[in-house]
Amino acid sequence: MTSFTQVILFTDTDGRARWREQAIALTEGKPQARLSPLMASGGCQLRESPVGFRSEFHCTDNPQWVFILQGRMEIGLQDGSSRTFGPGQHFYSADRLPDGATFDPQVHGHWSRRLGDEPLVTLFVRG
């Protein structure tokens, strides 16, 4: 069976953001063009981040797909690791603050920044 690999940024049981990958089965459509089952969405937004953009550590408020349309985006985690995404790449951002927790920038969330010399253009699709 054919599948699509979903890259997921999530909050682990210790409250820290981590990456995992999950297969989404392409069970719909025709042999020439396989599709996943239809997924609900809560709208979409475009964002342009200028040269020099970098966020502080933060958690995702609303889980969402992030598609890179232009430029390169780096996502850094508390453990010092990072991943870079370029045009045509994606991830699903779902690293929410654990229930009952108070945000601690030494424990929770991720940071993001634009890499290179061109603006970063992203499409956010709420899950």
Query: How does pLDDT run across 31-66, given as a tens digit for each residue?
Result: 899 999 999 999 999 999 999 999 999 999 999 999
pLDDT at site 127: 87
Range of the domain at 72: 3-126
Decide: 25 and 1 in contact? Cβ < 8 Å: yes
How many structural domains comprise the chain? 1
- Read off the CATH number of the domain in which 117 is found: 2.60.120.10
Question: What distance in Å separates the CA atoms of residue 51 and residue 65, rounded to the nearest whole number?
Answer: 22
pTM listed for this prediction = 0.91
